[in-house]
Structure 1
């Protein structure tokens, strides 16, 4: 597939890396020659220098012959203009990054006029992710499928856990909840396990469960679950604003520290129920005086990864119950885990996942297109949701009779609103929502790709 990316910043470059790995023909447009040169040298992509909203530049990039244009510059207006022009030239699909809440809220009215197939707001998506993590603070990650009915959650196996030393075959006997361990990270090793796999202390587990069973799972595992009532947010970014709004609606007390006085005034006007402090959130005296050690949760949302990491490490040192860290450079995630920074969110990664899902859905053939895509275990494993079509092979056949590709696992089936954590006797029927676990390098785009005989 031929894809044009306008903007070679954090999101644009991450998309170029991901989509080129999936063997798409990528063209990057940017007005920074140095950035383009770096991308051309490090990736198998073509580059075009210039303003992506200019007609001659889009023609030079052959947008008219492309399948998709993704506008990911730092300016919403430029992104929307890029998409309008691309559709006029004949590009079949367009995606725009739109960050301004005033624009994003009205896009559903103007989507057709702008020629948009999809609009993404990384800040809104990140705030939603953090809100969900604060609902169940025992989990390090929560990924939702089947319209929120199914989740894959990440947790670390402690030495006193009832699962320490247990075989997966005995999982239901121990926890009395129908769940499926779909991936395990042990040291540097990543496993998509079978029933004979034995769990050990320190394993990072990725568990599939019905959303309604998450609270039961926590109780069965004996995990102490404290309700988050007070949250300290460091940094007054757009993410912080969206997050504060969500938390206040949920009845949570919010205290927000921002170093820019004008931004403090703006936040105070728009968040009258939050406590807004004009101070340096990276100053230890400020953190101590504002009760960092006593607060239920701290979320670091400054514009600097280094600052977020230092504040989070200090919060962990003080024993803060829940610490969530925003970072953009996720390539050092293994190092972060070793330092206790294990609950991390990345706007760039959330944005890339949504776009990768859309691109794979465009390539759908017969079995069912990608409805949702989440990357697990430091991007080494993918969890994908599909809706099964009537053309899917092996419909109605018990799963124990069906040969799946190595390392592939069916994590859940949702049928008419009912969640099934499948065993060998279950089957896939037309219109089922199916969540599949697969190695990331396989890049599954169609549900029929999971079968050996496809």
Structure 2
């Protein structure tokens, strides 16, 4: 695919890096010479210095023959303008990064596609949504919903008391035949290898296992692994950023008791005016005495979303030491994900990764409805809509030539999630959730074309 990315900031560079690994034809546009020089020296892509809202610059980037334009500059207005111009100049699809989430809330009332924007993304809104879901599924370190929760992906580390530790997948399935979850990826403790489980794959203590669950599957999984979905009511949020504001607003609207700690006095007062149902505290969240004064030990969850990754990590560690059951830290450095298991923070989230996941489904072939990359694992979760002409249509799963490095996690039919086994017959208009390693993606895509 020919892809143009406007904006070489953190999101734009991360997207360019991921896409260049997949041998896509990438052109990166930015007005900053330094940002482009770094990208040019580290990635196999084409760079253009200039204003992405310039028609001449877009023509130089060969926008007329582009398959996708992704506008992710720091300016919402610039991104919208780039998409409008690109569509007029011949681009097939356009995605704009926005900060005003009203655009997403009211997209059914405003015809954004009519003037050239096929998709609106807000990394901050995606992060806030991810945090809300993690609080709902408090027992798990990672979670993702398909079709409003018809199927849900959850991730956890197995302890010695988990009922299926020491058993193979096949043995576990025979012992617990009426369960509503299935393992789709395993990472052995102390390794970076991702295993797509087969019948003879054995569950081991300290494995990080990713499951797909249907209705009630999460509760069953908790009971069998000794985890508990502890109800979360009292939440402390560190940082009055866009993510902190949106998370505080959304949680308070759903009857959570929220304390928001913001260091900047002026920002804190503005937030207090905008969030009448949130207790806003002006203070430095790195100050342990302040956290103790605000009864951090009584919190059910602590969420650190300042602009500094190290501050977020350290404050979450303090919260954990005070007995807070659930901690979530926003980080910019992807390398920190590898440390999350050893340092004791429950979940790390990253805006770049969330934005990339949202955009990547446009890169995949077949009718991809949703997609997410598994944190700290070399695997992707893809949701395909089955067409009447798809190779997989009207076949039982056991009869499909599926690569060994891929697995069907579940099927959504008529809005209901199903854990589909080998004798399940795939039909047209089913939504099929597949987990696969990168080497098998092309082979899987062909089954759904």
Give the equivalent residue in structure 1 for 2:219. 215
Aligned to 1:43: 43
- Contact 1:327 1:344 (8 Å CA) reproduced: yes
How far apart are the structure 2 equivalents of 1:107 and 1:382? 28
Could you tell me which residue of structure 1 aligns to residue 88 of structure 2? 88
- The answer to whether the 8 Å contact 2:186/2:195 transfers is yes
Give, in angstroms, the shift of residue 113 of structure 1: 5.1
In structure 1, the residue matched to 2:395 is 397
Classify 1:89/1:394 alpha carbon distance in 2 versus 1 (closer, same or farther; 3 Å). Answer: closer
Post-superposition offset of 1:175: 8.0
Counterparts of 2:429 and 2:128, CA distance in 1? 31
| 1:7-406 mapped onto 2 (5 Å cutoff) | 7-108=7-108, 109-112=110-113, 114-172=115-173, 173-174=175-176, 176-186=178-188, 187-188=190-191, 189-360=193-364, 363-364=365-366, 369-406=367-404
* 1-structure distance, mates of 2:293, 2:40: 49
Separation of aligned partners in 2, 1:13 and 1:322: 31
Distance across 2 between alignment mates of 1:5 and 1:436: 28
Task: Give the equivalent residue in structure 2 for 1:407.
Answer: 405
- Post-superposition offset of 1:219: 2.9
* Segment of structure 1 superposing worse, 111-120 or 209-218: 209-218
Q: CA deviation at 1:396?
A: 2.7
Contact 1:255 1:277 in 2 (8 A): yes
2:4 aligned residue:
4
Q: Does the C-alpha gap of structure 1 residues 446 and 166 become closer, same or farther in structure 2, counting only changes over 3 Å?
A: closer
Displacement of 1:104: 4.5
Give TM-score scaled by structure 2 length. 0.94
Check whether the contact 1:175–1:221 (CA below 8 A) recurs between aligned residues.
Answer: no
3-state SS of paired residue (1:359): coil
Q: How far did residue 176 of structure 1 move?
A: 4.5
What is the CA-CA distance between 1:446 and the residue it aligns to? 6.2
Q: How many residues align?
A: 445
Unaligned stretches of 5+ residues in structure 1:
none
Q: Are 2:158 and 2:209, in contact at CA under 8 Å, matched by a contact in 1?
A: yes
Matched residues in 2 for 1:245 and 1:379: separation? 32
User: Structure 1 residues 175, 251: CA separation in 2 closer, same or farther (over 3 Å shift)?
Assistant: farther
Moved segments of 4+, more than 6 Å: none
Distance in 2 of aligned mates of 1:21 and 1:240: 33
Are the aligned partners of 2:403 and 2:444 in contact in 1 as well (CA < 8 Å)? no
Deviation of 1:278 (Å): 0.5
Q: Separation in 2 of the partners of 1:115 and 1:81?
A: 9
Name the SS for the 2:152 alignment partner.
Answer: strand
State the TM-score, normalized to the length of structure 1.
0.93
Preserved CA contact (<8 Å) 2:180 2:220 = no
Cα deviation 1:105-164 (Å, max 9, x = unaligned) = 455414145410111011111111100110121101111113420011001111222222
